[in-house]
């Protein structure tokens, strides 16, 4: 079998044009796409944000305690003495002042500018592109926030965040605002459970609240993964194309005359495809990392996991090449078969997110794409980059193994017997 593997690797090595295409073209595409999409979806990490937020305060702090007292007496039916005690503590808590201090904190002031204005003026400025978002503090917000925190009831007056259109900047502002509210609610809850006095509410530290526990996943990382997987699909078709050349040169017939096991020919194709796909994908990852620093600060365990994912992808591609090879040996028109292979690869590339970012596809198409080898590898690498948790990639990895087994069985079933090729 080693002679068959050596034969296929030498055939590929002698085709210098194919080597350049497989190794150089993916890197060129990665660089071009990264520069073309710079600044989108948080890609440009060095670019400093200049966020403009308008704060419209419609609440009246002077009436907040009066409103709170009325609600405590009417809705909570508390006694005069208990109400007075609660109000003496509540006067020390000023949610609006806490929010403003948070937005004007040192950690945020370098890239966030806060403007206090009326709503009509803020809307006009946002339409002119001078503002990224508007934060409206509705009437009764202070009293409602204090009442809901003290009595453990859901608030009825919430902050309102208005934007003209969804962008990366508006999403960042939303995370900042939501992060403040989440931390303030947690502090209220903890102090109520622990019995601590209400004046000990801690102001959250400034900064962006990171959603989720994982690392970010950017287009800088997306393109090498998607393009690397796409070119492994092309490798499977390339191996089938080489099979067509061998048919034309009667290589397969000469192998049969040597009384060699016919299946060694197919297994040789699979092993050589696996080696080529693995080397090509790792080459794209490593070179992209050195040029663009796509995996900064990663540990050895991350790279070992990445190697494992690339290995599973290469196995799946080798099984796909077995199907293509068996079909090539059975059809009379090799060129027509190659055309079918390219259609399959293009279809896999589109729904698997290799031609366009998978996030812009409909949800139902994304789910279908996750059953393709390139789509599965993209989903696995996304999970691995963000969480670096083996448990989160077990299921999709098993699907890749199933794809390998299924395609191998199909390839062996279609493989022609003696006299059929």
Q: What is the 3-state secondary structure (H, E, C) of the chain?
A: CHHHHHHHHHHHHHCHHHHHHHHHHHHHHHHHHHHHCCCHHHCCCCCCCCEEEEEEECCCHHHHHHHHHHHHHHCCCCCHHHHHHHHHHHCCCCHHHHHHHHHCCHHHHCCEEEEECCHHHHHHHHHCCCCCEEEEECCCHHHHHHHHHHHCCCCCCCCEEECCCCCHHHHHHHHHHHHHHHHHHHHHHHHHHHCCCHHHCCCCCCCCCCCCCCCCCCHHHHHHHHHHHHHHHHHHHHHHHHHHHHHHCCHHHHHHHCCCCHHHHHHHHHHHHHHHHHHHHHHHHHHHHHHHCCCCCCCHHHHHHHHHHHHHHHHHHHHHHHHHHHHHHHCCCHHHHHHHHHHHHHHHHHHCCCCCCHHHCCHHHHHHHCCCHHHHHHHHHHHHHHHCCHHHCHHHHHHHHHHHHHHHHHHHHHCCCCCCC
CATH for 51-200, options being 3.40.50, 3.30.70, 3.40.1710, 3.40.1350: 3.40.1710
Sequence spans of domains, the chain = 2-43+218-414, 51-200
**How does pLDDT run along the chain (421 residues), one tens digit per residue?**
677 677 777 777 777 777 787 788 899 988 888 887 754 444 444 445 678 999 998 887 777 778 777 777 777 677 777 777 777 766 767 778 888 888 888 778 778 889 999 999 998 988 888 898 899 988 888 888 777 777 767 777 778 888 877 676 777 788 788 777 776 666 666 555 444 444 444 444 433 333 333 456 778 888 899 999 999 999 888 887 777 666 666 666 666 666 667 677 788 889 989 999 999 999 999 999 999 888 888 899 999 999 999 999 999 999 999 999 888 888 878 778 888 899 999 999 999 988 877 777 787 888 888 889 999 999 899 889 888 888 888 988 999 999 999 999 999 998 877 555 5
């Amino acid at each position: 079998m080693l002679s068959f593997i050596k034969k296929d690797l030498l055939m590929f090595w002698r085709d210098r044009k194919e080597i350049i295409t497989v190794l150089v073209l993916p890197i060129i595409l990665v660089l071009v796409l990264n520069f073309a999409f710079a600044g989108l979806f948080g890609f440009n990490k060095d670019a400093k944000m200049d966020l403009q937020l308008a704060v419209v305060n419609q609440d009246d702090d002077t009436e907040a305690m009066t409103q709170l007292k009325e609600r405590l007496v009417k809705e909570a039916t508390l006694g005069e003495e208990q109400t007075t005690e609660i109000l003496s503590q509540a006067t020390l808590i000023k949610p609006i002042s806490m929010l403003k201090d948070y937005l004007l904190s040192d950690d945020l002031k370098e890239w966030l500018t806060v403007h206090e204005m009326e709503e009509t003026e803020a809307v006009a400025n946002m339409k002119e592109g001078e503002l990224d978002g508007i934060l409206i503090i509705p009437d009764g917000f202070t009293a409602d926030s204090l009442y809901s925190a003290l009595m453990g009831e859901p608030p009825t007056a919430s902050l309102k965040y208005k934007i003209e259109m969804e962008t990366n900047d508006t999403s960042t502002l939303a995370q900042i605002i939501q992060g403040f509210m989440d931390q303030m609610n947690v502090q209220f809850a903890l102090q109520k459970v622990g019995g601590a006095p209400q004046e000990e509410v801690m102001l959250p530290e400034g900064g962006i609240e990171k959603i989720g526990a994982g690392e970010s996943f950017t287009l800088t990382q997306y393109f090498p993964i998607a393009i690397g997987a796409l070119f492994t699909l092309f490798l499977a078709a390339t191996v089938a194309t080489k099979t067509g050349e061998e048919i034309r040169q009667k290589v397969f017939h000469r192998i049969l005359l040597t009384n060699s096991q016919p299946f060694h020919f197919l297994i040789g194709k699979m092993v050589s495809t696996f080696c080529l796909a693995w080397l090509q994908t790792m080459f794209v990852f490593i070179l992209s990392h050195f040029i663009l620093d796509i995996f900064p600060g990663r540990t050895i365990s991350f790279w070992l996991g990445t190697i494992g994912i690339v290995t599973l992808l290469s196995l799946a591609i080798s099984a796909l090449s077995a199907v293509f090879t068996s079909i090539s040996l059975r059809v009379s028109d090799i060129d027509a078969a190659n055309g079918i292979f390219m259609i399959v690869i293009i279809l896999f590339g589109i729904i698997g997110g290799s031609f366009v970012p998978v996030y812009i596809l409909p949800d139902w198409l994304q789910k279908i794409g996750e059953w393709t080898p390139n789509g599965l590898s993209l989903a696995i690498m996304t999970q691995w980059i963000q969480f670096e948790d083996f448990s989160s990639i077990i299921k999709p990895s098993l699907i890749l193994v199933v794809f390998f087994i299924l395609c191998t069985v199909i390839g062996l079933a279609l493989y022609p017997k003696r006299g059929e090729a």
